[in-house]
Structure 1
């Protein structure tokens, strides 16, 4: 059974079963920016590392370009190339980081070097200035396969010839971009690994901060879940943050309104029951007198129906009053004492024996032990619950049946059983009959509140009640209540 508070929460707008966790929602929106920033930092780091690697390569290529340009000397309208074979072998010695060079006279007259280097992208080049750009060239591998190689190129335009016939010379020196890219990747790895550790540490800190920040909500949820269905007392959560305190205040205001409405309903039921008891008692007395004063069979039949209705109404009123007394506030107001359940069962059984005989039921107490079984509870309400159990058995067991009341102590529990060999109750109805105004049969003059009252009183005493089938036929009501266990003093 859901408490009014939990029911109100379920009906609040935006609070639906399966709603995403607030903890996961906050964690997602706090960690997602970190991931985006980490990716952005990795991208920026790689590009910065690549730019600085290119700077180092460009400095070396610029020096090599100027050195190569000095080896090509103009003589009149021709060129004198002073590039020894030893210098060429030194430049091309490293197979993993080869240097490519090319000297040409644009547009496309190859003079010296590798006739594969791409031309510079500039259209209006100034003489003597070095231009750097990225390109690609085809290179044959040792396995006689052609692959596309990314290169970094430095290019410089020089002039030669006389004033009447000026000419331009293009000197290019290139180097594979593999070493620069490898350097950039290494810088990225060396930077990203510590950054990843910091991001992971920050994620753990964020996760812990979210758990700490949402802990008051978890305590609020635990306090609500641990409450009894009818507990409408204000929620106490003073140590919570301001936002949670505001939520608690709003919920307490809601609980106060619900408590007021419930109290008004209870007072109305109690007042109405009290007001109806007197006229119903008078009606029963008048019908009984009228039955003795008339000999008309038809009139007697009508009077008996009026008397049965008045009796049933009076029973319903008494049950409603008992149900009102079984509410938590009433139980707390009436107080609790040590109650001898064995003695209480004996008194109730003896009190109902005449009623059992009138109904043709053999009622008895199966208890050969006289040792008290004490529990901590309200004697009046416990008596009422036992009366309802035995009365319910007498009403529905049928003429000629046997009703037995048993009492025993099992460890820390007191077990009370009321068993009959009547028709019993179908298994599908054994839980339903504990609901208010629910009946398993339309026979008899019951009102469907007896077992509901029993369950209410037993649960108020932190006990349990259940119905069990008896073979070959019958029903057993079993009530378990925590009993007072005396601890024996031990010698030191």
Structure 2
């Protein structure tokens, strides 16, 4: 029995190019293509004008031959040039020049036996390129009438000088342009590197930074572009948010360690005391006290978690919330606790049709937590009556949710102090309950929802009025569910 092992190799991507090289690549390609197209266009233009100049010289030679064609008295046409005059007229130091004169019937009148080419008879002058004696030549055919005869003067000229001139034009024009292109690419590479220097400095600063260092990144070099400076500022903003979150976590951990240690120690002491007594009545009493302590510790942990959530959140998503429904549900959640404590818990402002249509801009879950904190405080430290009131402003721009009790109340200064963390009013200090976080949590959550939280003595009689003022949103249309 044989076992075949298959090795799967994962192809790793190669190293990514640097931003400088990517930018230079994007710039280099258009520049090279521009140089190539410019060179091709320049060569085509140079070839056109060079060809035109040589064609004009070739045509002048044809006209010179045509000007010496004469007809005698009998109508016979002859070339009135001696051999020496013909050589002087067609002399060229670097090229070979050939000529021929043909009658209309194709017979040759003078010159060399040049091949007959397919000329355009409708044009007085025609140009062609062809091979003659193994060489590339440029030919021109000139139609001319001498007497009553139609003649064709054909001139052929080799193209060595023309080709050499075009090559020199290419070298003298393309090579300097290529040199300028290389210098331009080098300059771009240097300038792009200078512009990217702050980005590289930012990268080095972040790579050398310790994980615990959340201080802002200072500008190591003058910013060359707005985008790089914005990147540094955005990174600093992110570091600031991370530092705030880390600080909130440290504070939360410290709060938990500080506040939970005491109830846990009390629970252990109660359990040890109950275990040390054989009397069932004492054990039952201690179990009840342990249950109460666990409930208080659980409430404290919930408060600490809610406080940590409010510290970490920078904004919440607000949506239309039915204010009357939230008040009604909050009262129902605490109805049993109020009944056991023989406290009259009720609501006001919910029985009208207008109240059912009220909508506020809030987060439903956070609003429920705020109402729970205010109602629990009122049940714990208030008197014998707690009322949750719902009221809209006269202009319809805001809605107030207020928790009102008839307890001993507090002064204006004590109300302001009670909204700070770890601060309790006189009733809380005397009862020894709570941690002084509830009102601070409500104030923080109200700020997150762009609402106002106010704690003040009642205007009529003893007690406190804790009110939440939210912005009202468009009411629903009649008949809308």
Taking structure 2 as the reference length, what is the TM-score of the superposition? 0.48
